[in-house]
Amino acid sequence: MVDGKVCSALCKTSSMTCPICNATISKMNDIASARSRHIDNESLQFGLSVLQAYIRCFKCLLHIAYRLELKVWKVTKENKEPFERKKRTVQAEFKNKMGLSVDIPKSGFGTTNDGYMARRFFANPTLFSEITG
């Protein structure tokens, strides 16, 4: 089993597209086109990484929590302050209640969201839902 970057390299696709169906981020929410997309069966031989699924799901749920009060996905100038306020509140709650520093940029690469954090997150869904609202 390989991670997403290795799978993209082996399938000769961009890391910004799905190696299985070649959908870009902007096409992921288009349900009508999702039903008709061609699936590259050869890319399935590399498997789907459970760890990567945990990390991506954790990150997605975290970002939804930041936007719950806004009820929009795209953060604009008008709603940036409430978004940042909610993000800081959620991050502080994770730090206080679980001892986790979530979604903090690391110098040189990515964020603090890793497999360890995702496993801790999914191990206690009740506490997570309390923190994120």
- State whether 69 and 86 are in the same domain: yes
- State whether 62 and 120 are in the same domain: yes
Between 42 and 86, the higher pLDDT residue: 86
pTM, entire model: 0.66
Binned at pLDDT 50, 70 and 90, residue 4 comes out as low
Q: Are 113 and 121 in contact (CB under 8 A)?
A: no
Average predicted confidence (pLDDT) for the chain? 83
The structural domain count of the chain equals: 2
> Taking 90 as the threshold, does the pLDDT of residue 89 lie above it?
yes
- State whether 68 and 124 are in the same domain: yes
- State whether 73 and 119 are in the same domain: yes
- State whether 17 and 74 are in the same domain: no
Q: What pLDDT, on a 0 to 100 scale, did the predictor assign at position 74?
A: 87
- State whether 108 and 55 are in the same domain: yes
Q: Are 72 and 79 in contact (CB under 8 A)?
A: yes
For residue 14, the enclosing domain spans: 4-46
Tell me the residue type at 132: T
Binned at pLDDT 50, 70 and 90, residue 46 comes out as confident
Least confident window among 16-25, 44-53, 72-81: 44-53
Mean pLDDT, residues 74-100 taken together: 92
- How many Å apart are CA 95 and CA 13, to the nearest integer? 37
> Given its phi and psi angles, is residue 59 left (phi above 0), alpha (psi -120 to 50 degrees) or beta?
alpha
- State whether 36 and 58 are in the same domain: no
Q: What pLDDT, on a 0 to 100 scale, did the predictor assign at position 66?
A: 93
